[in-house]
Amino acid sequence: MSYCIYLRKSRADAEAEMRGEGETLARHEKALTEFAKQANLNVTAIYREIVSGETIAARPEMQKLLSEVSAGLWDGVIVMDIDRLARGNSIDQGIISQTFLYANTKIITPTKTYDPNNEFDEEYFEFGLFMSRREYKTINRRLQRGRAASVKEGKYVSNKAPFGYERVKIKNDKGFTLCPVPEQAEIVKNIFEWYTAGILQSDGTQKRIGMSLIARELNNRKIKPANCSVWTAQTIRDMLINPVYCGKIRWNWRPVKKKMINGKMIKERPRSTEVLLFDGIHEAIIDQETFQLAADVMGKNKSRTIREDKTTQNPLASLVICQKCGRKMQRRPNSNNPDLLICSAPTCDNHASYLHLVEKHVIEVLRRWANGYQIENFPNSSKLVIHSTDDYKSELSGIMKAESKINVQLNKAFEAFETGIYDTETFKSRSQILKSQLAEVNIKKIELQHNIDKAIENEKIINEFIPKTQNVITSYETLLDAHSKNNMLKQIIDHIDYNKNTRGHGHQEDFTITVYPKLPKI
């Protein structure tokens, strides 16, 4: 029989580690491994969940485990406690409960073994999941109340300090505060001064500069920002409106909002209009007058008016990727000239092109796809190779023969034990080796069957792709708005790599693009 171990770190474990109580996963792994040896459980895999996630979707190792449990790969899963499996919502708890029930897989803890076929164990297991979820919500509620109380006391509760500060532990008290970093604090002062009063010129005068020029100046001086690779106008703006620099603590600035989109729970952090400010216990870098002056200057320089309909104006929105820095290319209106497609990174030297020229080139690629050629010779084509189901079936046939051979050997081992040819120790050793080989063969068989199912599905998708592309080409020219065009392109395009090394917006041949079709990942 085959068993595996599942390890997951909880929030309480993380807090214990901060107090110096040792690495949790290592301690649990040692304890469960020793327990498995004492219980004579054959452990052949260990799943270590190193990410913190409330839901199954955020825990890759749990997803892998459930997939293998549902395939009947494991007779039992060993965990430290029931709540290590799930503290998510009732949907996640139901998925875990039903997966173990239908697969007839036991859940084993050092204190109790839960058999899904036992009615009382099943109820006790479901009750344990419910109580773990309730405990999680209680802990989370207590944690949020504690964070809010700390903010009111002027403490800093975020994990990362803003540029200009370092996060330090408060002496003889719980919590953290901020301490200015002299070199960075001087740069913060410069940013506010350049934006409100101006940067010193060669003739001794000062000239006020905007956010983009401030970012360019800092990048030219090779000054590294705190949490990103280069300075951008948005980074400067976030600093100019952050009250932490004038000695305040901001709360509820970007609260987490959860949404269900296409059946998936998505977390967003929109900027809130109900921000709370409290006096911080940290030292201010900027005085209140300068901070307010920056706000006044910003108020006089309103951003470009957003269209009332807020519709997409770029047919290639979110599709074109800068091949040099990996950022998404953006549309920029160009006064009386055609719109540009640009990389907004200040230090990136990937030059802009006219948007309509890039769009035209993309459509030409789609026409070649619609004609049914150049897909197989596509760049990076190794990702698009569709394996024949015959190859997989041939390999599966070999695996089935190996499985049959091992079963014959196992039956002979039993016969040898029953007739006295094998003593108990020899039989145990021989049967354990054969069972281990049988488990490996079973894993390969499950993987091959999965590959066969996937290959059949992918072949179907490939066969549907060319007609789908032909439909896009036929319909694209009839569409008038960029939003509809963008949605149509996203049906068949995964992303587009863009590269241009020469200046100038015209001349289609000056840039290169690589269009990647939305095909299944093999």
Taking only the tens place, the pLDDT of each residue in 402-411 is 888 888 888 8
Residue 406: what pLDDT? 86
Residues 260 and 334 in one domain: no
pLDDT-based confidence at 177, cuts 50/70/90? very high
In the chain, the number of structural domains is: 3
- The reply to whether 456 falls in a domain is no
- The reply to whether 437 falls in a domain is no
Rounded to the nearest angstrom, the gap between the alpha carbon of residue 71 and the centroid of all alpha carbons in its chain is 26
Question: Can you give the residue range of the structural domain that contains 19?
Answer: 3-150
Residue 404: what pLDDT? 87
449 vs 14, higher pLDDT: 449
372 vs 355, higher pLDDT: 355
Residues 505 and 358 in one domain: yes
Residues 344 and 493 in one domain: yes
What would the pLDDT profile of 360-404 be if each residue is shown by its tens digit?
A: 999 988 888 777 544 444 443 333 344 556 667 778 888 888 888
Residue 230: what pLDDT? 83
The owner of tokens 């957003």 is 306
pLDDT-based confidence at 203, cuts 50/70/90? confident
pLDDT-based confidence at 461, cuts 50/70/90? low
Residues 114 and 171 in one domain: no
Whole-prediction pTM? 0.52
Helix count (H) and strand count (E) of the chain?
Answer: 13, 19
CA dist., res. 322 & res. 342, Å (int): 9
Joined together, the tokens standing for residue 275 give 């921000």
Across 313-339, average pLDDT: 88
Residue 359: what pLDDT? 92
Residues 128 and 194 in one domain: no
* Beta-ladder partners of 261: 264
- The reply to whether 190 falls in a domain is yes
Q: Are 97 and 127 in contact (CB under 8 A)?
A: no
- The reply to whether 401 falls in a domain is no
Considering the chain, what is the average pLDDT of its residues?
A: 81
Residues 232 and 120 in one domain: no
Q: Are 498 and 341 in contact (CB under 8 A)?
A: yes
pLDDT-based confidence at 14, cuts 50/70/90? low
Angle at alpha carbon of residue 61, lines to 55 and 65, rounded to 5° = 100
What would the pLDDT profile of 271-293 be if each residue is shown by its tens digit?
A: 777 788 899 999 999 999 999 99
Q: Which of 150, 179, 201 is the last residue of a domain?
A: 150
- The reply to whether 313 falls in a domain is no
Residues 339 and 483 in one domain: yes
Across 199-206, average pLDDT: 85
Report how far apart, in Å, the C-alpha atoms of 86 and of each of 40, 97, 130, 257, 267 are.
26, 10, 9, 22, 19
- What CATH number is given to the structural domain containing 291? 3.90.1750.20
**Biggest alpha carbon distance in the chain?**
106
- The reply to whether 487 falls in a domain is yes
- The reply to whether 459 falls in a domain is no
Residues 144 and 182 in one domain: no
Q: Which of 124, 150, 176 is the last residue of a domain?
A: 150
CA dist., res. 17 & res. 15, Å (int): 5
The percent of residues in the chain predicted with pLDDT above 70, rounded, is 85
- The reply to whether 366 falls in a domain is yes
Residues 347 and 483 in one domain: yes
- What CATH number is given to the structural domain containing 129? 3.40.50.1390
Residues 197 and 283 in one domain: yes
Across 299-317, average pLDDT: 69
Residues 134 and 281 in one domain: no
Residue 437 CB-density burial (10 A; 0-12 exposed, 13-18 middle, 19+ buried): middle
Residues 126 and 35 in one domain: yes
Q: Which of 272, 300, 328 is the last residue of a domain?
A: 300
